[in-house]
Amino acid sequence: MRAAITGTGFWVPEQVITNQDLTRLMDTSDQWIVERSGIRERRWLRVGEDGRTELTGAEMGANAARMAMADAGITADDIDFVIYATVNPDIFFPGNGVFIEDLLELGTVGAMDIRNQCTGFVYGLAAAEGFIRSGTAQTILLIGGEIQSTALDVSNRGRDTAVLFGDGAGAAIVQGTEEDRGVIASVLHSQGRFARELWAEIPCGNVAGRYTPEMVEGGGNHPHMNGKMVFKHATRRFCEAIREVMKKGGVGPDDVALVIPHQANQRITDAVGQRMGFPPERVFSNIAKYGNTTAASIPIALAEAVREGRLKSGDLLVLVAFGSGFTWGANLLRW
């Protein structure tokens, strides 16, 4: 039994925030952002007078899921498990997976969240494959979704991070199949000694009341990143993970039709493509439109790649990610 992706979908907020829009909030420029990251615009949910976003993260995920279900030609009745990858759950607990179960009326199927940041979808697909191979589930709804905009410090203090991130959700239907397609191999890694190089501290389970005034003053409710260090590690780990997953699957770079990297930064994507010898047309990129949407970036990119006709039946596909944790990993699939 193999685990194949049989449908994809995505949903992004209507509101486009251009680099020019950000210059009204902080000292930055379109040129700085484009040169450093390749990002031209991102989508941010609108926030109402009550301070709440127009949709919850789970509602975004449900929209992406409906598109993926239609694409796979299945209904809610066919889904027997939900995996929701996010670093930004709507609330501290329970996770977004159970809200999806409710929103899509999935009838008490199992639901779990994966907290693996930008690597969430890669970990989620590996987990989905394991559940399918073991017979625990047959048709899994795998979602990566993020509301980043509400966490960002859009003042000068947070400008190195705030310009990079966007909101959105992507979804995939992962199903058991006897056919020669689907996940061939996955590799998963972490290195917690670098956890503090890219993190958001609040809410903090080991602090009474979940935060202190000092933590708030220090910006602990916003993501913080050591950009240069993340850049260096990401470039190295992306390449390692691609090499490792290809080796595990017994294939070489020339066999791979498309690489979909987590959309962290166009400079990282370009460096990885060059080092690995993949020409630009075999490395998918949509970061210019959406920025870094963390766990949502790979499933959004996959859904767009499918709709652009970038994958045909039998193609070998590599999904690869690196992110906070540090965590990194890759999946090799036959489409």
265 binds ligand COA (CB under 6 A): yes
Q: How far is CA 211 from CA 153, 177, 201, 202, in A?
A: 17, 47, 8, 6
Task: Choose one: 39-47, 57-65, 187-195, 230-238; the region binding ligand COA (CB under 6 A).
Answer: 230-238
Instruction: Return the bridge partners of 9, or none.
Output: 171
User: Of 32, 194, 199, 211, which one interacts with ligand COA (CB under 6 A)?
Assistant: 32
111 binds ligand COA (CB under 6 A): no
Given the complex with ligand COA, which of 26 and 251 has the nearer CB atom? Answer: 26
Residue 267: closest CA among 119, 153, 164, 129: 164
User: Of 2, 42, 43, 159, which one interacts with ligand COA (CB under 6 A)?
Assistant: 159
236 binds ligand COA (CB under 6 A): no
Query: Least CB distance from residue 276 to ligand COA, whole Å?
Result: 18
User: Of 86, 235, 269, 292, which one interacts with ligand COA (CB under 6 A)?
Assistant: 292
- What residues contact residue 138 under an 8 Å CB cut-off, 6+ apart? 80, 132, 175, 176
Given the complex with ligand COA, which of 16 and 25 has the nearer CB atom? Answer: 25
b/e code 64-92 from CB counts within 10 Å (16+ = b): bbbbbbebbebebeebbbbbbbbbbbbee
Which phi and psi angles does 334 have, rounded to 5°? -100, 125
Query: Least CB distance from residue 30 to ligand COA, whole Å?
Result: 10
199 binds ligand COA (CB under 6 A): no
Task: Choose one: 90-98, 212-220, 229-237, 244-252; the region binding ligand COA (CB under 6 A).
Answer: 229-237
**CB atoms closer than 10 angstroms to residue 194:** 17
**CB atoms closer than 10 angstroms to residue 250:** 10
Whole-angstrom Cα distance, residue 244 to residue 238?
10
Q: Which DSSP string do the residues of 248-306 spell out, in sequence order?
A: HHT--GGGEEEEEE--S-HHHHHHHHHHHT--GGGB---HHHH-B-GGGHHHHHHHHHH
158 binds ligand COA (CB under 6 A): no
Q: Is 118 a catalytic residue?
A: yes
Given the complex with ligand COA, which of 168 and 182 has the nearer CB atom? Answer: 168
Q: Which DSSP string do the residues of 168-204 spell out, in sequence order?
A: EEEEEEEEEESSS-EEEEEEEEE-GGGGGGEE---S-
Q: Is 204 a catalytic residue?
A: no
User: Of 28, 96, 139, 149, which one interacts with ligand COA (CB under 6 A)?
Assistant: 28
227 binds ligand COA (CB under 6 A): yes
Q: Is the dihedral of CA 44, 45, 46, 47 positive or negative?
A: negative
Q: Is 239 a catalytic residue?
A: no
Task: Choose one: 61-69, 121-129, 211-219, 227-235; the region binding ligand COA (CB under 6 A).
Answer: 227-235
Tokens of 197: 């190089």
Given the complex with ligand COA, which of 5 and 268 has the nearer CB atom? Answer: 268
Given the complex with ligand COA, which of 133 and 232 has the nearer CB atom? Answer: 232
User: Of 171, 264, 303, 319, which one interacts with ligand COA (CB under 6 A)?
Assistant: 264
The full length of the chain comes to: 335
Which class for 209: exposed (0-12), middle (13-18), buried (19 or more C-beta within 10 A)? exposed
Query: Least CB distance from residue 295 to ligand COA, whole Å?
Result: 10
Query: Least CB distance from residue 223 to ligand COA, whole Å?
Result: 9
Q: Which residues are tagged catalytic?
A: 118, 262, 292
Which stretches of the chain bind ligand COA, using CB under 6 A? 28, 32, 36-37, 118, 159-160, 163, 225, 227-228, 230-231, 234, 264-265, 268, 292, 322-323
